[in-house]
Amino acid sequence: MAIDPICKMTVDEKTAQYKTEYKGKTYYFCAPGCKKAFEENPEKYVDADTDT
């Protein structure tokens, strides 16, 4: 399971409808709003991502 970097919900990579790639890593989202927020300012959430 992946963690949505915006809201921290768990997201199943196999069934996720919302995902984007940034700097070679795929990020998964629970909803289109989370995906949009990430794409508008990915560095804000990548810096906070302690998994990388």
| Tens of pLDDT, residues 28-47 | 999 999 999 999 999 999 87
**For residues 45 and 39, what is the distance between their CA atoms, to the nearest angstrom?**
10
**What is the pTM assigned to this prediction?**
0.85
Phi, psi torsion values for 20, nearest 5 degrees: -150, 160
**Mind listing the pLDDT tens digit for each residue in 5-21?**
999 999 999 999 999 99
18/52 Cα distance (integer angstroms): 20
Whole-number CA gyration radius for the chain: 10
Are the C-beta atoms of residues 45 and 23 closer than 8 Å to each other? Answer: no
